[in-house]
Amino acid sequence: MTFAQPDHISDLDTLPRMPAWVTSVRSKTLEDVAFSSGAALNHLHLVLGREDVPHALMRDRLALRAAEACVTFSGRPERARELRDLLHLLRPGDLPGPAGEIYFFWRRATERPVSVKALGRALPTFEPGQIATWLNTGQGTPVVRAATVLETVLREAPRADVPALILAEAALAQSLGWKHLIPLLAPSLKRADLLKQGDDLRLACHRAIIVSAVETIRLATDLTRRAEHVKAVAPKLRAKGAAKAVEMILSRDAVAAAALPLPPRAARRLCDRLVELGVVRELTGRDTFRLYGV
């Protein structure tokens, strides 16, 4: 079954594409790479300003990517599928384990507007005063400020890779005037980059921004199309509570049928129907304990 494409989907396609010179920069000078990362952030800013982009869903998907990168940094084997299971199959009272904890940190950091209080909730092992001090460390342009925060936190807390990256992303978001943290550094930095300092670290951060901005724009465009297809079929869903269920699906990377505001059997039928219509995917490939996402 196919669905008519809403008019503003094509509008999204008319957004100026990122110039080729931004992504193909060959220069190794900090000045040139910084210029390209600024251009990349500008294009991303245009996309993030669109109301039709499913922002909560995009942030949740990016939180998963950031967590996956940080888990890889730590040498652990868990990837996206396992991280989703650690979140959605966790029983009350169970501990998420090191990988699950990393994922929880990133989800909490991205789900609420950036503030010291919200970051304190995401990083409960650090005092709010310490978080505020670190956030105020960086000066200058957004990426320079983020790199300074990253370097400062890692110097004062050498094993705090995840908190350092989260606070650097928060500093970047604040500098750009973004309401929420958008993971851009963590998904594209390498483990060795976290050992760098000064201009070397700033250069690595600028390069990471270029890569992540391109990937985030691509993700936002894809999720916007998918979300519109879900919205197109939502009025045809007859189950009581289907509207709230669709709202949950459109704001989260993945959901279990049991988490939807419907009786268990009705929730499973709704998920299966959305998969049948081709607007939602089953993400695990399992017959039981299935997870669904746009």
Indicate the SS3 state at residue 256: strand
Strands 281-282 and 255-256, how do they pair?
unpaired
186 and 279 housed in the same domain: no
Predicted TM-score (pTM) of the model is 0.93
Residues with Cβ < 8 Å from 88, sequence gap 6 or more?
Answer: 254, 255, 256, 259, 291
What is residue 10's predicted lDDT score, i.e. its pLDDT?
A: 46
211 and 274 housed in the same domain: no
- Token look-up 């594209």 returns 188
Final residue before a domain boundary, out of 189, 223, 257: 223
Q: Determine, yes or no, domain membership for 18.
A: no
What is residue 19's predicted lDDT score, i.e. its pLDDT?
A: 76
Pair 63, 100: CB distance under 8 Å: no
Pair 213, 184: CB distance under 8 Å: yes
Domain count along the chain? 2
Pair 178, 47: CB distance under 8 Å: no
Indicate the SS3 state at residue 170: helix
Give 212-278 as a DSSP string.
HHHHHHHHHHHHHHHHHHHHHHGGG--STTHHHHHHHHTTSS-EEGGGSSS-HHHHHHHHHHHHHTT
208 and 129 housed in the same domain: yes
Q: Determine, yes or no, domain membership for 6.
A: no
pLDDT per residue rounded down to tens, the chain (294 residues): 344 444 454 455 655 577 777 877 667 799 999 999 999 999 999 999 999 999 999 999 999 999 999 999 999 999 999 999 999 999 989 999 999 999 999 999 999 999 999 999 999 999 999 999 999 997 899 999 999 999 999 999 999 999 999 999 999 999 999 999 999 999 999 999 999 999 999 999 999 999 999 999 999 999 999 999 999 999 999 888 999 999 999 999 999 999 999 999 999 999 999 999 999 999 999 999 999 999
Domain span including residue 218: 28-223
**What φ, ψ does residue 291 adopt, rounded to 5°?**
-125, 145
Integer-rounded Cα Rg, in Å, for the chain is 20
CA–CA–CA angle 134, 102, 209 (5° rounding):
60
Q: Determine, yes or no, domain membership for 16.
A: no
Measured distance CA(173)–CA(176) in Å, rounded: 5
155 and 48 housed in the same domain: yes
Indicate the SS3 state at residue 146: helix
- What average pLDDT does the chain have? 93
| Residue 106 C-alpha from the chain's centroid | 8
What is residue 138's predicted lDDT score, i.e. its pLDDT?
A: 79
Indicate the SS3 state at residue 194: helix
42 and 181 housed in the same domain: yes
Pair 91, 152: CB distance under 8 Å: no
Measured distance CA(284)–CA(290) in Å, rounded: 6
Final residue before a domain boundary, out of 223, 254, 271: 223
Q: In 10 A of CB 118, how many CB atoms? A: 19
Q: Using CB atoms within 10 Å of the CB of residue 144, give its burial: 0 to 12 exposed, 13 to 18 middle, 19+ buried.
A: buried
102 and 166 housed in the same domain: yes
Which pair of structure tokens corresponds to residue 212?
A: 């992540």
